[in-house]
């Protein structure tokens, strides 16, 4: 008997019994998923760690993607005459880069919360038509 159990009251012992029973009743699907999670964690632990230089190997690809994005955003957001087109495109692309690099934004996308983006797009369109 552990020190915790020795000094435990009947109430604590009963609570422990009930909690342990609830653990025993965890269904097969959950047990299987926990088992998979454990193995994934162990694989991550034994996988060779990447060095700090690893990030640089991805820089050409990331740079190309960023350049393509910048060009696309510049073409998409052609402003009417009277404004400085380069500055307008730059500010738009910076905003878009913020959105793309924001991990919370990615989390929302992963969560399948597409309706938020539909709403945001509708708001932007309304704002544009109002002005």
Partner 1 sequence: MPPALPGDVDLTDSSAQSRSRALNQFLASVELRAFKIAQAGLRHEDDALDAVQDAMLQLARAYADRPAEEWKPLFYRILENRIRDMQRRRTVRGRVIAWLPHRGEDEDEEPDPIAQAPSPEPQPVKRLELDEAMEALEKALGELPRRQQQAFLLRTLEGMDVAETAAAMGCSQGSVKTHYFRALQALRAQLGELYL
Q: Which of 76, 119, 125, 126 binds partner 1 (CB under 8 A)?
A: 119
User: Could you say whether residue 12 binds partner 1 (CB under 8 A)?
Assistant: yes
User: Could you say whether residue 25 binds partner 1 (CB under 8 A)?
Assistant: yes
Alpha-carbon distance 27 to 35, whole Å?
12
User: Could you say whether residue 131 binds partner 1 (CB under 8 A)?
Assistant: no
CB of 107 to partner 1, least distance (A): 8
Size, binding site for partner 1 by CB under 8 A: 43
Alpha-carbon distance 16 to 20, whole Å?
6
Contact string 85-114 vs partner 1 (x = CB under 8 A): ----------------------x---x-x-
User: Could you say whether residue 83 binds partner 1 (CB under 8 A)?
Assistant: no
User: Could you say whether residue 22 binds partner 1 (CB under 8 A)?
Assistant: yes
């Amino acid at each position: 008997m552990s020190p915790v159990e020795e000094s435990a009251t009947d109430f604590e012992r009963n609570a422990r019994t009930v909690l342990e029973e609830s653990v025993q009743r965890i269904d097969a699907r959950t047990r299987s998923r926990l088992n998979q999670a454990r193995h994934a964690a162990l694989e991550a632990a034994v996988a060779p760690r990447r060095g700090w230089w690893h990030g640089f190997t991805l820089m050409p690809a990331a740079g190309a993607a960023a350049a393509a994005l910048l060009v696309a955003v510049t073409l998409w957001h052609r402003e009417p005459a009277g404004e400085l087109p380069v500055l307008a495109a730059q500010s738009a692309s910076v905003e878009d880069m913020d959105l793309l690099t924001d991990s919370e934004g990615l989390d929302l996308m992963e969560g399948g919360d597409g309706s938020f983006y539909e709403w945001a797009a509708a708001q932007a369109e309304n704002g544009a038509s109002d002005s």
